[in-house]
Each structure stands twice: as C-alpha cells, then as structure tokens.
Structure 1
Amino acid sequence: MTPNSAKPSQSPDQLFGITGLLTDDELVVRETVRNLMARDVRPHLQEWYASGEIPVRELAAAFGGVGLLGMHLQGYGCAGTSATAYGLACHELEAADSGIRSLVSVQGSLAMYAIYRFGSEEQKQEWLPRMATGEAIGCFGLTEPDYGSNPGGMLTRATRDGDDWILTGTKMWITNGSVADVSIVWAQTTDAPSGIRGFVVPVATPGFSAPKIGSKLSLRASITSELVLHDVRLPASAMLPEAAGLSGPLSCLTEARFGIIFGALGAARDCLETTIAYVRDRDLNGRPLAAYQITQTKLADMALAYGKGMLLALHLGRLKDAGALRPEQVSLGKLDASREAIAIARQCRTLLGANGITLEYPVMRHANNLESVLTYEGTAEVHQLILGQQLTGYAAFR
C-alpha cells in the first residue's frame, strides 16, 4: 500500500460495534431523529448560532410531531419509549447542537417530568398532552443568580395569603424561559411543611416576566432567560402536591442528566466524524493529513474515549430500563461524557487548524456549547464529590 492509498474508513460507532448493541426499536428512534436533524435542523445551525435566534415553536411542533417531547413518559399523549431510546434521541439531537437537545431535555425531562412525577391529575391532564405535541412549551425555574450548585439556599419565596400562594424571587439561566407557556418554579415556603415546594406557573400570570439573556458565547442556538416573579399570585392548586423538599427538583435534574450523558457524546461523535472526513481530504506536503502518525494517534485516543463513554451510557440506559439506576451512577456518566466530549472537541479543532474556528465546520460550535454542558446540571466538581462520597462514605461538599 502506498502512502496515498487508503482503505475505507470506519466511524467510531462502527469501531465499537455500537449498532449491534441496539434493539430494532432503538434503531428506529435513532434513525428517525437523525433524519429529522438532517432535514430540519442542520441546514440552519450556522445561521441560528450566528444570530443567537432559534424558532422554538416551529421546532417544538416538529419534535412533538414525531413523539420526541416527553417520549420516555407513559400516557398523556407521550410515546412511552424506553430510557435507552430516549438517550439515543438525545445523542442525535446533540450531534446536531447542544441547544437543540436542551430544548427537548428541558421540555421532557424537567418541565414535563416534574408534572408527571409530582403533579396532581388535574395538572397532568391540563399540561402534559399539549406539551407532548409541542403546542405548549415549558421551562424549569430552579437556578438563581447566586444559587446554582447549592439550590437549597434559594431566595425565591412562596408565602400563604388565604388560600393562595404569593411567589417572589428571581431565577437565572432558564432554557426556553421567554418562549414558555408554563414554568415549574421552585421556592422556599414559610407556611408549608418540607420547605422547598414546586409550583406550576402559567407565564400569563400577572407579576411573571422572563427577559431573554443575550450576549452568550455558548448555547447560542437556544433561548436562555431570567425569570422574575413579583408578587405572583397562584391558587393552592398550583402547588405540585407530591414534591416536598429539595429531593423533588433534584430528582428532576437526575432525570435530565441521564439525557445529557448520551447528548454530550453525540456532540463528540459529530466532532470526530467531521474531523476524520476532513483529515482524509486535507493535503499536507503531498499526503493526506490522515496518513500521518500524530494525526492517527490523536484520533485513536479520541475514538477510545468516545467509545468507552458510549458503552457506559448504554449500560446506564439498560440499568434505568430495569429500574436499577441510582443517582450516583448518573453522576458517573455525566462526569465522564461531558469531560471527554469537550476534550474531544478541543482536540478535533487542532486537527482542523484555522478551519476549525469557523462556523463552516461544527467543531468549535460544539466546543463552545460543551463549556455549558460541562457545568450545568452539576459541575464536574460536584459530580466528583458525589462519587467521592460513595467511594469513601464521607461527604466533602463543604
């Protein structure tokens, strides 16, 4: 074989035999979402990222039309798929863009899941069918300007006034906030047991506003907002009856982190596939860049990190489908996937050289997005401490 000749290349998924580990139903989900991204999303990503604007309602309708929204929930118009199938959908969504996956994750695994898991039957009937189709969009108000990794210190308050609740406070970094129809807001209560409680807040309620946050360098193909609650009056029926204390919102975050595991690896896969195609075509001193040893060692290491992450993700998916997945195991996956994905994106950028900093290629867009994925829904350090506590028996968060 001459230096300029080459055998057909394998994708990282082919190298690890990922497809052979999936059921027929899971393959259908993967291909459906992959085709949807190719048709309705990928052609527009450069424009959306550059402008910082995204047609959320049109996308929500398209995603609801194929059953993506709340797809792993049962009933109320939801598709009722397996957890692994949902993970694979997140994988394909984030292979397009992290912001696209965030739209679906916040809708299904945060806003819809909170109502599904903790809501009254009336709340479920009112919101879940419309959210499943994309007619109604939800957001999830937990993080505050000064309380991210320590949500238990939140300053948002819910105070009794007769049979009503009055909510006052501010939430920050809320995906879908300014385009939502309903927000799940978590607040400290002074007149109810168990402290923190969740409320279903229609955004048309007087005193509620959601100014959009601009000037982002990450997740630009995503709507991010502040939530401002100024004496928002809600009936008693707005409270999520089954959520008492911090365990409620934290269980929602665990649900969303599961999708992030698969999603971050989708961004890594797209970086790898883009880079492999690029170095095979890029000529350097009369040889393809792919034919140099240093290029191949970089690709080999990245493919290994990606493949191990996918095997872990699929293992966690099987555990979740069996009802055996524990929160600390989700931390294993979130820590590994987000950390390895951003390392892969950065390394791929070096192989693309100057082309890697343009929007013509998706690699730096993925890298910028993964800066947010690395820190939201539990920073790497928080997940390290969760795992450390499990390994040693000692809590070292303070």
Structure 2
Amino acid sequence: MASTFSKIKEAWHIFKSIDFNMLGKLSEKIDLPKVMASVAKLDDKQLAGLMKMLDGGGGHKKELPAIDGDFYDLSHLLNEEDRALQLKVRAFMEKEIQPIVNEYWLKAEFPFEIIPKFAELNICGVTYEGYGCPNRSFLMEGIIAMEMARVDASVATFFGVQSGLAMGSIYLLGSEEQKAEWLPGMQQLKIIGAFGLTEPEVGSGAAGGLTTTAKREGDSWILNGQKKWIGNATFADVQVIWARDLDDNEVKGFLVRKDTPGFSVEKIHDKMALRIVQNGLITLKDCRVNEADRLQHANSFKDTAKVLRMTRAGVAWEAVGCARGAYENALDYTRKRKQFGKPIASFQLIQNHLVEMLSNLTAMETMVYRLSQIQDQGLLKDEHASLAKVFCSLRTRDVVSRAREVMGGNGILLEYNVARFVADAEAIYSYEGTKEINSLIVGRAITGFSAFV
C-alpha cells in the first residue's frame, strides 16, 4: 500500500512539472500516446536508465580520475622534503619549459634564458658533497631527471650532461684543486660543461679504440682527434675530453677550456631527436693542455666507466620520464577527443593501449626506484645500471609508439605534445650505451663469459 502511495505521489510531482505548452508542440511532431505506451512497458531498471540518459548522465559532468603516471604511488615513499623538491621541479618544468619547448624544439635552438632560472632550483650536482652541492640521494637525482624528461627530454639531457657527466668527471676523478676551481661555478650554472667521449668512428668501442690521442710534452699534453655528438659542446666553458695516451695506450681525461688554441666545435644539424640539445662535432688539432688540467685520477678507461656507471642510472630515469610524459598526454587526449558521439577513452581498444602503456611505465618506475636504492647503498654495479638502461629505453619506445597510435594523425603534431617524445625516445635508446652493448654487460655478469669482441 505504501509503495503504491509513493508511486502516486511521484507521478503527481511529475504531472505538476509538465509544461503543457511544450507538450502540445511536442504532440505535433510525435505520437505521444504511443511513446507513453512504450515507456509504460519498461521495467524499473530500464526506466532508470532512460531517465539518466534524459538527465544528461545525472545532471552534472562526470568527475574523471586524476591523470597520474605514478600508478603505484611511489612518490608517497619519499620523505616530506624530497616530495616537496619533486613538486618544485615539476612546477618549474610545467611553468617555464612547457610553454616554450615546442618552439625551441622545432627551431633546434637552446633557450638560454632558462639557465639562471635553473640555477635557482639549486639541484645541480645534487648527489655531491661540498662545493655548494645539495648532497641529496641518488634516488632524488633520478626523480629530478624523470620530472624534467616528463616535460622535455632535451632539457633533461642538457641537465644530465652538466650535472652528471661533466661535473661527475671532475668530482670523481679530479684533484682537489680542480674540484675547487670548477665545481662551485658549475653547480650554480655559471660555468657550463660538456663530456667528450664518443667519436665520429668510435661509439661502442670507446673502451679500447679511441682515436683521439694525447702526447705529453713537458708540462703539457698535445691532443689530436675529433669527438662527435657532444651535448652542450657549442656553448660549454669546459670540455671533459677523453683521449688515448700514446705512451702507455691508456685512456686519460683532460679539461679543455673553450678558448684553447687548436680546439674548435661545429654544431650538428638536422637531428630528428633531442633537437634542443646543442650537439657538437669537436676537432682537436695540436691542442695544448697543461698537466694541471689533466684529470689527476683518470688513468684508464676503468676510471671513465665510473662516471658512466653513475650517470647511466640517470638515463634510465630519463627514459621513464619520456614514457610518462607520452602516457599522460595521450591519456588526457583520449578523454577529450570524441568520435561516434563519445570520448575515445571509452572504447575498449583505446583502453587496452592505455593499460599496456601504464603497465610498461609502472614496471620501469619500480625498476629505477630500486636501482637508485641500490646506488644509495653503495652497491651499484655496471650490470645493474645497464639492465635498467636496456629495459627502460626499450619499453619507452613501446609506450611512445602506443601514445602516438591512440592519437591518430594528431599524434605527429607538436601541439599535442607526444610527437617530441616519439622522436626523443630514439636518442635515449642509443646514447650512454646501445641496447646491444648494455645487454652484453649484463650477459657477462650472469653467465661468467664475456661476449665482447
């Protein structure tokens, strides 16, 4: 009885709300008695669905989940201070870099105006102790690299060369006098550094095949040869140059100042990836360097490898950032882009691509997080860094490919912020050790056999 009364009461409220003028006009277009008869046959569930549809899905816009590539909430494992720094770097990248990045990427130019702003973050040389450096964890160094690459891998590479390869060479292998001369200015980005190892004909074979030579003459060294793909080279104040000593055939490191006679650099043009990075072709022709500018603790390629081991972990984090930026932009796009009357994010095939992307991304994130924990414990080995570089750069390729796919033709346009990640992933895949070389490093560790030539 009570249920019947409720239905009558509800019907009365509906009847009172009817606009009979509108109803009259509607009856001219449709057979109202027929429509009402059909509605009367609906059960409660069907009627509720009809009302929801007529009400536009409940009368308010559906609240969607936040877009966040950190699906396992790894950031919640950070302490309050580290989390604040992460968000500070993210805000900087989104405010200062995101609005200008496509323009500079397209022009293949570097936005020099960002350097003083970068310095204000006080994150250069983040893991080093002394010389004005913050002395934070390797985990934070990795997270910073990820946050940068999440917006732009070129800017992350510029920072990685400065803070990791260039400063790291001096910090790990320089004398105390060299550290005091260079590191404070580099930490404040008043001095820009570059790292010259790769050569036009020597990439993977750098350990034993450098063609750039060094010959000692009294208190000086004479350098001859070329270096290629050297990031920051066109505007760096100091270049860390690796050369083979003609007397003992060992690899040694030298700090070459930009105005040194015999040193010249030419910008590499027509790159399809990391276009903001100013890569240079360095030529050394009877370039004379004082013994005081030789890295005093760099006496073989094993010493060079110490720097590469430390920075290779950062490149793995950069790959994660590249993948995360592509995933988050693609997810945002699919929720806004409509086809067949609804967002394409509601389609099964699109959701499958998104989940595959997130699966790869989450696996990568958890791997590099553990990698940095190992590094902070002082237990990092070459094979640890190499495995992360192999896996993350490979999976990043898959993520950016799927991101471009769900965006259709728009995926190749810079304005949708995925095309850059697709291109830049190719450079990350190759530099700081190719997949093949890093695979052989891991293979040697797990089998006990070296497959290197």
TM interval, short-chain normalised: over 0.9
Equivalent residue number for residue 187 of structure 1? 243
Determine whether 1:205 maps to 2:257: no
Equivalent residue number for residue 167 of structure 1? 223
Amino acid paired to 1:137: I
- Mapped to 1, the partners of 2:326 and 2:290 lie a distance apart of 48
- 8 Å contact from structure 1 (residues 26, 84) kept in 2: no
TM-score by length of 2: 0.85
The answer to which of 252-261 and 122-131 deviates more is 252-261
Equivalent residue number for residue 71 of structure 2? 15
Aligned-residue sequence identity (percent) comes to 35
Determine whether 1:251 maps to 2:306: yes
**Per-residue displacement from partner, 1:121-164 (whole Å, max 9, x unpaired)?**
11111110000001000000100001000102011111111221
Equivalent residue number for residue 217 of structure 1? 272
Offset at 1:12? 4.7
Offset at 1:101? 0.6
- 8 Å contact from structure 2 (residues 131, 184) kept in 1: yes
Equivalent residue number for residue 362 of structure 2? 307
Equivalent residue number for residue 38 of structure 2? none
Amino acid paired to 1:8: L
Q: Which structure: larger Rg?
A: 2
Determine whether 1:50 maps to 2:106: yes
- Mapped to 1, the partners of 2:85 and 2:127 lie a distance apart of 12
Equivalent residue number for residue 32 of structure 1? 88
Offset at 1:10? 4.5
Instruction: Report the 3-state secondary structure (helix = DSSP H, G, I; strand = E; otherwise coil) of the residue aligned with 2:252.
Output: strand
Equivalent residue number for residue 386 of structure 1? 441
Instruction: Report the 3-state secondary structure (helix = DSSP H, G, I; strand = E; otherwise coil) of the residue aligned with 1:210.
Output: strand
- Mapped to 2, the partners of 1:364 and 1:332 lie a distance apart of 27
Offset at 1:14? 4.8
Instruction: Report the 3-state secondary structure (helix = DSSP H, G, I; strand = E; otherwise coil) of the residue aligned with 1:69.
Output: coil
Amino acid paired to 1:92: E
- Mapped to 2, the partners of 1:189 and 1:250 lie a distance apart of 17
Instruction: Report the 3-state secondary structure (helix = DSSP H, G, I; strand = E; otherwise coil) of the residue aligned with 1:179.
Output: coil
Amino acid paired to 1:146: E
Offset at 1:25? 2.4
Amino acid paired to 2:197: L
Equivalent residue number for residue 147 of structure 1? 202
- 8 Å contact from structure 1 (residues 26, 88) kept in 2: no
**1:103 counterpart (158, 162, 166):** 158
Amino acid paired to 2:284: L
- 8 Å contact from structure 1 (residues 199, 239) kept in 2: yes
- Mapped to 1, the partners of 2:70 and 2:149 lie a distance apart of 19
Determine whether 1:287 maps to 2:321: no
- Mapped to 2, the partners of 1:14 and 1:84 lie a distance apart of 15
**1:356 counterpart (379, 387, 411):** 411
Offset at 1:314? 0.7
**1:131 counterpart (186, 189, 205):** 186
- Mapped to 2, the partners of 1:380 and 1:234 lie a distance apart of 35
- Mapped to 2, the partners of 1:11 and 1:317 lie a distance apart of 25
- 8 Å contact from structure 2 (residues 224, 286) kept in 1: yes
Inter-CA distance 238–358: structure 2 relative to 1 (3 Å threshold): same
Offset at 1:15? 2.6
- Mapped to 2, the partners of 1:156 and 1:91 lie a distance apart of 33
Offset at 1:211? 0.9
Offset at 1:178? 0.8
- Mapped to 1, the partners of 2:202 and 2:69 lie a distance apart of 39
- 8 Å contact from structure 2 (residues 69, 327) kept in 1: no
Determine whether 1:156 maps to 2:212: yes
The answer to which of 173-182 and 325-334 deviates more is 325-334
- 8 Å contact from structure 2 (residues 239, 255) kept in 1: yes
Amino acid paired to 2:64: P
Instruction: Report the 3-state secondary structure (helix = DSSP H, G, I; strand = E; otherwise coil) of the residue aligned with 1:241.
Output: coil
- 8 Å contact from structure 1 (residues 208, 229) kept in 2: yes
Instruction: Report the 3-state secondary structure (helix = DSSP H, G, I; strand = E; otherwise coil) of the residue aligned with 1:348.
Output: helix
Amino acid paired to 2:360: A
Instruction: Report the 3-state secondary structure (helix = DSSP H, G, I; strand = E; otherwise coil) of the residue aligned with 1:87.
Output: helix
**Per-residue displacement from partner, 1:264-299 (whole Å, max 9, x unpaired)?**
111111111111111111111112101111111111
Offset at 1:262? 1.2
Question: How much is the aligned-residue C-alpha RMSD, in angstroms?
Answer: 1.6
**Per-residue displacement from partner, 1:54-101 (whole Å, max 9, x unpaired)?**
124x33322222112211111111111111011010001111111101
The answer to which of 307-316 and 60-69 deviates more is 60-69
- Mapped to 1, the partners of 2:70 and 2:279 lie a distance apart of 36
Equivalent residue number for residue 41 of structure 1? 97
The answer to which of 144-153 and 20-29 deviates more is 20-29
Equivalent residue number for residue 402 of structure 2? 347
Offset at 1:21? 2.0
Instruction: Report the 3-state secondary structure (helix = DSSP H, G, I; strand = E; otherwise coil) of the residue aligned with 2:407.
Output: helix
- 8 Å contact from structure 1 (residues 13, 19) kept in 2: no
- Mapped to 2, the partners of 1:12 and 1:44 lie a distance apart of 23
- Mapped to 2, the partners of 1:59 and 1:259 lie a distance apart of 21
- Mapped to 2, the partners of 1:129 and 1:294 lie a distance apart of 53
- 8 Å contact from structure 1 (residues 272, 344) kept in 2: yes
TM-score by length of 1: 0.96
| Count of matched residue pairs | 396
